[in-house]
Amino acid sequence: MSGQHSNSEIAVRVRRLEERLIGAGLTSDDQLDAIIGRVASGSPANGARVVARAWVDPAYRGRLLADGNRALEELGFSMGHGPQPQRFTVVENTPTRHNVLVCTLCSCYPIALLGPSPSWYKSEAYRARVVREPREVLAEFGLELPADTEIVVHDTSAESRHMVLPVRPDGTDGLAEAELAALVTREGLIGTAVV
């Protein structure tokens, strides 16, 4: 970022790259700072808030599944992080259907709702294996799904970003929305865990 300077080797290299891009007229310090600022505001707590609202408010859940972008705006979130607008879709787990997310081409990820992606999400092993043998990969994450559970792997290959809507845990009827949000994990929003 233009306002922060570090002498570390990687920071120097990043700054050199930024200066080349700015010099070529492809971006500006202001643009870079704005994008970094928006990315830094992303957190799985945001996704958890969306999930908790969907759990307590069936009408909101319906709107979320029908038009994710618009439903995000109701809670003050947006997908306007990148150089072009991204579509936001929420895929709903059910007792018989489990969704899991990956980007086999690179590491596309809904940063606004989930924060920076975990290193394993970007690893070649996860990307190569989860499309081929999701049941085994999920088991390695500690998630043993019943044999008759339908698994859908969503490969993020275009301009949509996805988030999983986990099944609301049993025994949570008395919990308030904020308490429910506290139960939701980043892995639950990616689909490598249940909540």
Partner 1 sequence: MSEPRFAVGDRVRTSTVDPPHHTRLPRYARGQVGEVVEVQGTWPLADDRAQGFADPRVEPVYTVRFPAADLWGPPGGHWVQVELWESYLEVAT
Question: Which residue in 16, 132, 144, 176 binds partner 1 (CB under 8 A)?
Answer: 132
Q: What are the residues whose beta carbons fall under 8 Å from the beta carbon of 148, sequence distance 6 or more?
A: 96
Window contacting partner 1 (CB under 8 A); options: 29-37, 52-60, 146-154, 175-183: 146-154
CB of 178 to partner 1, least distance (A): 33
Partnered with residue 76 across adjacent β-strands are none
Cβ atoms < 10 Å from Cβ of 43: 16
Binding part of the chain for partner 1, among 73-81, 151-159, 166-174, 177-185 by CB under 8 A, reads 151-159
CB of 107: closest distance to partner 1 in angstroms? 14
Instruction: Reduce the secondary structure of 117-146 to three states and give it as a string.
Output: CCHHHHCHHHHHHHCCCHHHHHHHCCCCCC
CB 195, CB 188: distance < 8 Å: yes
| 94, β-bridge pairs | 97
Catalytic annotation on 108?
yes
Cβ 13 to partner 1, closest distance in Å?
Answer: 23
Q: Does 135 bind partner 1 (CB under 8 A)?
A: yes
From 12-20, 33-41, 157-165, 186-194, span contacting partner 1 (CB under 8 A):
157-165
